[in-house]
A and B are shown apart, each in its own frame.
Chain A
């Protein structure tokens, strides 16, 4: 038993493909929700009203300072105690969204801050309201600068979905465990599954490289939680 043999079986490929599909679904749903949450949190934090900016700031700072694994585990453990029954998949999506929105909010905020102040002033001077200047002047420019940082955070999110295996989400990492506990081939299985994750994540980072701002004067904002190198161009 063991070795590469079992991994050549088409049935196992189907099994792993199912896990990959769930990984992609969890990452995509949590990613989409986090993008919305992140923009809203950033706007709340930049708002002149303290009732909005203070709670948003506290939430973002605390959430970013906690391990995502802790959030996943305790979302799953605490929900039933609050009388909400959450299956592992929704619990993982909720937890990953709670966490990733906070990180994205910080990226959005940095993107908005990196624009020259003149942009906001000019928009207001032209008679645009605060909301209009955000919608038509600030956000379109800021989002373009933030794209690489956002994608690298989405890569981190994709890798973080593997933690959902611990609360029983039957995604790629958990299926790897099931395979090597059956065939006693952890080395081979983890290499294969690692390669699948690699293909997934590196295609995302290829996308990020293609989308980097081209204009020479632009400063790409890059403050994902792990990739926080600020790349100055021009």
Chain B
């Protein structure tokens, strides 16, 4: 039997921790991609000229931002099963994170679109570009610069929120850490490791965001 030392619980359970780490990364990445697509579409509806579409998009944003993610997650996992749509923990987790984050993405993208001067849009339309072409070639490329830092922050929030999937027994980083600490009773070692692992995902992104912010500020 090996001698005891601080960190043993982590060293001996390293493969399990890595699996959890990978799960957190995959769930977050997938949800981020989906929320970008969904959120941009909703922002498009929110800035459209058709009033019911605007209301629909505003309703989406209000509903999903003003209810806890945990309740939404339980709804997809426990509620939809009851309605006959059986989602796996992975599917429910990704769906909940993506749908929730999309509401925030929509607000960020909308403020980006609004930050582009109206004259730009009018000029594009006057030049004969269609609505979609105007958005695609004139508005969105300019809006992108404004929205990149807040989107980066949403990515960080999403990684942090992804820890909630452990509550529906998806074996993410938090879930496996809880498993290891309850088996070994080495709470502090496991806590230290899991903190370092989460920081390794969120801090580089935070650094990137603050770089982007500084560059954009200087240019204005």
Q: Is the interface of A mostly helix, strand, loop or mixed?
A: helix
If the complex has contacts A66-B195, A81-B188, A231-B111, are A173 and B75 also in contact, measured as CB distance less than 8 A? no
**Contact stretch, chosen from A40-48, A130-138, A190-198:** A190-198
| Interface membership of B135, Cβ < 8 A | no
| Interface membership of B60, Cβ < 8 A | no
A-facing residues in B177-193 (Cβ within 8 Å): 178, 181, 187-188, 191
Q: How far is A190 from B66 in the complex, measured between Cα atoms in Å?
A: 14
Q: How far is A49 from B20 in the complex, measured between Cα atoms in Å?
A: 40
| Interface membership of B202, Cβ < 8 A | yes
| Interface membership of B25, Cβ < 8 A | no
| Interface membership of B164, Cβ < 8 A | yes
B-facing residues in A194-215 (Cβ within 8 Å): 194, 197-198, 201-202, 205
Question: Chain B 86-119, CB within 8 Å of chain A: the 1/0 string?
Answer: 0000000000000000001001100100000000
The reply to whether B160 and A229 contact each other, CB–CB distance below 8 Å, is no
The reply to whether B111 and A74 contact each other, CB–CB distance below 8 Å, is no
Chain B residues, CB < 8 A from A193: 71
The reply to whether B188 and A78 contact each other, CB–CB distance below 8 Å, is yes
The reply to whether B178 and A73 contact each other, CB–CB distance below 8 Å, is yes
The reply to whether B202 and A162 contact each other, CB–CB distance below 8 Å, is no
CB of A58, distance to nearest CB on chain B (Å):
11
CB of A94, distance to nearest CB on chain B (Å):
15
The reply to whether B181 and A225 contact each other, CB–CB distance below 8 Å, is no
CB of A176, distance to nearest CB on chain B (Å):
7
CB of B187, distance to nearest CB on chain A (Å):
5
Q: How far is A176 from B51 in the complex, measured between Cα atoms in Å?
A: 36
CB of A39, distance to nearest CB on chain B (Å):
22
Q: How far is A227 from B191 in the complex, measured between Cα atoms in Å?
A: 28
The reply to whether B153 and A197 contact each other, CB–CB distance below 8 Å, is no
The reply to whether A228 and B153 contact each other, CB–CB distance below 8 Å, is yes
The reply to whether A74 and B70 contact each other, CB–CB distance below 8 Å, is no
Q: How far is A225 from B153 in the complex, measured between Cα atoms in Å?
A: 7
| Interface membership of A122, Cβ < 8 A | no
CB of B113, distance to nearest CB on chain A (Å):
12
Chain B residues, CB < 8 A from A205: 66
| Interface membership of A54, Cβ < 8 A | no
The reply to whether B198 and A65 contact each other, CB–CB distance below 8 Å, is yes
When C-beta atoms are compared, the residue in chain A nearest to B178 turns out to be: A73
Question: Chain A 139-180, CB within 8 Å of chain B: the 1/0 string?
Answer: 000000000000000010001111101100000010011001
Chain B residues, CB < 8 A from A155: 66
CB of B38, distance to nearest CB on chain A (Å):
16
If the complex has contacts A68-B160, A70-B174, are A194 and B202 also in contact, measured as CB distance less than 8 A? no
Chain B residues, CB < 8 A from A36: none
Chain B residues, CB < 8 A from A64: 206
| Interface membership of B33, Cβ < 8 A | no
Q: How far is A70 from B194 in the complex, measured between Cα atoms in Å?
A: 9
Question: Chain B 46-69, CB within 8 Å of chain A: the 1/0 string?
Answer: 000000000000000011011111
Chain B residues, CB < 8 A from A185: 82
When C-beta atoms are compared, the residue in chain B nearest to A23 turns out to be: B68
The reply to whether B75 and A194 contact each other, CB–CB distance below 8 Å, is yes
Q: How far is A65 from B160 in the complex, measured between Cα atoms in Å?
A: 8
The reply to whether B70 and A173 contact each other, CB–CB distance below 8 Å, is yes
The reply to whether A190 and B75 contact each other, CB–CB distance below 8 Å, is yes
Known A64-B206, A67-B159, A187-B80; further 8 A-B contacts with Cβ < 8 A: A65-B206, A70-B195, A190-B78, A194-B72, A198-B63, A226-B104, A226-B154, A229-B107
Task: Mark B residues whose CB is within 8 Å of A.
Answer: 62-63, 65-72, 74-75, 78-83, 104, 107-108, 111, 149-150, 153-154, 156-157, 159-164, 166-167, 174, 178, 181, 187-188, 191, 194-195, 198-199, 202-203, 206
Task: Mark A residues whose CB is within 8 Å of B.
Answer: 61-62, 64-70, 73-74, 77-78, 81, 155, 159-163, 165-166, 173, 176-177, 180, 184-187, 190-191, 193-194, 197-198, 201-202, 205, 223, 225-231
Q: List 17 A-B contacts (CB under 8 A).
A: A62-B199, A65-B202, A65-B206, A66-B198, A70-B194, A166-B167, A173-B70, A176-B71, A176-B74, A190-B75, A193-B71, A197-B68, A201-B66, A205-B66, A225-B157, A229-B108, A229-B111
